[in-house]
Amino acid sequence: MNFLQERIEKDGRVLSERVLKVDHFLNHIVDPALMDQIGKAFSNYFKDEKPTKVLTIESGGIAPAFMTALYLNVPLVYAKKALPSTMDHPISTEVYSFTKQKTYTICMEQEAIAPGDRVLFIDDFLADGQAFKGVEDLITQSNAILCGCGFCIEKSFQKGRSYLLEKGYPFYSLAPIQKMVDGKIYWLED
The reply to whether omega before 59 is within 30° of 0 (cis) is yes
Report pLDDT digits (tens) over 27-60. 889 999 999 999 999 999 999 999 999 999 988 8
190 has a pLDDT exceeding 70: no
Q: Is 120 strand, coil or helix?
A: strand
d(CA 169, CA 156): 15
Q: Is 155 strand, coil or helix?
A: strand
pLDDT tier at 136, thresholds 50, 70, 90: very high
132 has a pLDDT exceeding 90: yes
pTM for the model: 0.94
Specify the pairing of strand 13-14 against strand 90-97: unpaired
Across the chain, what does the average pLDDT equal? 93
CATH of region 3-187: 3.40.50.2020
99 has a pLDDT exceeding 90: no
d(CA 33, CA 78): 22
Query: Mean pLDDT, to the nearest integer, of 117-139?
Result: 95
Show me where the domains of the chain are located: 3-187
Per the CB < 8 A criterion, the answer to whether 164 and 149 are in contact is yes
4 has a pLDDT exceeding 60: yes
104 has a pLDDT exceeding 90: no
d(CA 97, CA 115): 28
22 has a pLDDT exceeding 90: yes
Q: What is the pLDDT of residue 85?
A: 80
pLDDT tier at 185, thresholds 50, 70, 90: very high
Tell me the percentage of the chain whose pLDDT exceeds 90. 84
Per the CB < 8 A criterion, the answer to whether 154 and 160 are in contact is yes
Query: Could you tell me the sign of the dihedral formed by the alpha carbons of 40, 46, 51, 57, in that order?
Result: negative
Q: How many helices (H) does the chain have, and how many strands (E)?
A: 5, 10
